[in-house]
A and B are shown apart, each in its own frame.
Chain A
Amino acid sequence: MKARIFAKAALCVSLLAVSVGSALAADNVKIGMIQPLSGPNSVFGVNCQRGMQLAVDMINEAGGIKSLGGAKLELVPADIPTPNTAAQATQRLISREKVSGIVGHFVSSSTLAASEVTERMKVPLVTFAFADQITERGYKYSFQVTPKGTVFGADQFNYIYDMMKDHGKAPKKIAILYEDTAYGTTQAKGLRAAAQAKGVEIVVDEAYPLGITDANPLINKIRATSPDIVFPVSYFNDALLLIRGMRQQGINIPAVGGAAGYVINDFRKGLGEYCEGILSVASSNQDLAPKDFVDRFEKQYGVMPTHDAISHAVAVDVMAKAIEKAGSADPKKIRDALAETNTCDGIASAIPGKCVVFDKNGLNTKTFPILVQWRGERLVTVYPKDVATSEPVLPQ
């Protein structure tokens, strides 16, 4: 009997302790993370997750959200392997997990599907995805820290064109190969327009399905037309198939990739020495990001942070700063604070141009694409000149 009373008393005390404990600490602010954590694009999703988690850890260690009494940020992940699962997963994050905002998705078409839900349910979405439509629909709750896809495409062409022109051998004919979802088609559109504006002939302009298993038909077209430069816009598998296929057939035409598959560590692992010197556009790069972030990322995960991880960390930081400014976990107030974002410090400064300021459509007006090149196990920034950390090694 005595033992039972004691047990009850102990239970009461511990319950009391629990309730006091939770009253003292401020509630966590939940941020939804939508990424492809399984399926064909998971190699990117895992990268993005690492960057986002590290940003959250660093913000929490620096004292969390001070205007909310030091509340900690908490990432709530949702796996979105394909665009058709995006709406449902996003809805679940908002209605069941009650997230204050959402960051992601790596894939443009999934981001577009998710943004329909965030707009309807009035929860802010900060994304890294490139597709032009994201900021062209007049949506109030979508914000994009990176440049638009057509801008990426245009600069993918213009940067290398200018560089080669400086060396007296401007390209005369080029090939464009792109995957046929939102990301590839918008970026190819920018590329095409830029090439036409410079009067450069496009000898191959070919879309291919994302799940392509044999790139030989594309390679045959390249060989038949022998362009000066190939511009592939691909995710990962297709990037490997294209570059391997070209090298197998002894085609040494330089390739300038369109970010995604060309700037991740697995790309280098898959190609080995053939990776050296390959150029690509990117939304950010390790040699332009704050050193403490890059060092810690490498220590924690054993690999160099690539642009997807860095730019997603930027997105998290922008979201955190808006929560700080709003002093609230209410999605609508955070949205209003996001619209007035003007930040040039912290992890957000990792983005080229160093600053994030959104226009009325939610597009970051301060940033621009950069051109990066593989050197051994690292990617270095080679263009534009004012931010470059290395001289480009130009294709011969």
Chain B
Amino acid sequence: MLAFIQSLLDGILLGGIYGVISIGLSLVFGVLGIVNFAQAQFMMLGMYAAWFAWDSLGLDPILGVPLTGAVIFIIGYAIEKLLLQPVLKAPPVAQIFLTVGLMILLENAVLLIFGSSFKSVVVSYQQSGLKIFGLFISVPYLFAFSAAVIVCIALWLFLSKTWFGRAIRATAQDENAAVLCGVNVKQVYALTFAVGVALTAIGGAVILPYMTVSPTVGGQFAILMFTVVVLGGLGNVAGALVGGLVVGVIQSLSAMVLPVQLQNLILFMVFIGILAFKPEGLLKEA
């Protein structure tokens, strides 16, 4: 029983991270209607930004979240204005080519700048864990999860309480109506994309204490991100969080009874099963 609770707990801690890196993807799709294949590469950029801040300023990756978020926000804003805006009304094929191209560009640009070697940070709590009622909680996982939860709450407040958040939701619901009400939708698109990629980057930054970063790290998460988003309902922000938790828990629990090699097999079997009965995903349009 204890082993079950332990696995469940590990899965939740892991799933929170999956959630926060996937929310950005869902947000961008929900508002801009673009499937951003380069989303996982922004996570990689976030990890590098956090690593760079740690390496040059000695900033802890988790405390450095505002800085990482701000840097990637600016990069995302510029990319949307320069590259995505022109293809927003273009056929989907053009959009796919653009974001896939962006993915290759980002990976190789980072490869040129930082080289191919793995970077990891050294922080004091890296090897420590807590023991509560016989359950082990890894401190870096706990910190990453807590940071993810705080970021999610901040996003929720932003979307529901601020004027700009409401403008984003209005644009997602009906672009024309939003324009008629005086919303500058071009600005909304740029800001949404910037917020979306910054969220994913923050998700990357907070896991840096237990992960290593290399230019290709995004690839390890890309499929998981798309699974999480589709599972939770495309374009649904809360759904992405739920999807993340579900994926984390499935991965963790399946490893209890089956070889670790098969954890993604179980995940995709459950995924296909859920889609067969609920093709719109776990949560309906928010």
A interface list, Cβ under 8 A from B: 37-40, 42-43, 45-46, 81, 180, 206-209, 211-214, 216-218, 220, 223-224, 236-237, 240-241, 244-245, 247-250, 266, 269-270, 272, 274
Contacts and interface: CB of A to CB of B under 8 A. Distances in A.
Nearest to A247: B127
A62 B10 CA distance: 58
Interface in B1-56: 3, 6-7, 10, 14
Given A42-B117, A237-B212, A248-B128, A217 B252 contact: yes
B129 A249 contact: yes
Q: Which bracket fits the contact residues of B?
A: 35 or more
Interface residues of chain A: helix, strand, loop or mixed (majority): helix
B211 interface: yes
Interface in B122-178: 122, 126-129, 131, 136, 138-141
A212 B214 contact: no
Interface string B111-122: 100001110101
B260 interface: yes
Q: Which 4 A-B pairs have the closest CB atoms?
A: A217-B255, A42-B116, A247-B127, A248-B129
27 contacts: A37-B116, A38-B116, A38-B215, A39-B116, A40-B214, A42-B117, A43-B214, A45-B116, A81-B216, A180-B261, A206-B259, A211-B219, A213-B211, A213-B221, A214-B10, A214-B251, A216-B14, A216-B138, A217-B252, A223-B136, A224-B3, A241-B211, A244-B210, A248-B138, A249-B138, A250-B129, A266-B118
Contact of A248 (B6, B7, B139, B215): B139
A110 to B, nearest CB: 15
A207 B259 contact: yes
A276 to B, nearest CB: 13
Nearest to B207: A213
B217 to A, nearest CB: 8
Contacts of B211: 213, 241
B264 to A, nearest CB: 8
Contact of B111 (A38, A206, A207, A212): A38
Contacts of A213: 211, 220-221
A40 B111 CA distance: 12
Contact of A266 (B111, B117, B129, B259): B117
Nearest to B7: A220
A37 B6 CA distance: 39
Contact of B212 (A81, A240, A248): A240
Contacts of A209: 260-261, 264
A207 B260 contact: yes
B272 interface: no
A220 B260 CA distance: 11
A43 B117 contact: yes
A81 B131 CA distance: 40
Contacts of B263: 217
B256 interface: yes
A244 B126 contact: yes
A81 B259 CA distance: 27
Nearest to A272: B122
A272 B125 CA distance: 13
Contact of B6 (A180, A208, A220): A220
A250 to B, nearest CB: 6
A329 to B, nearest CB: 31
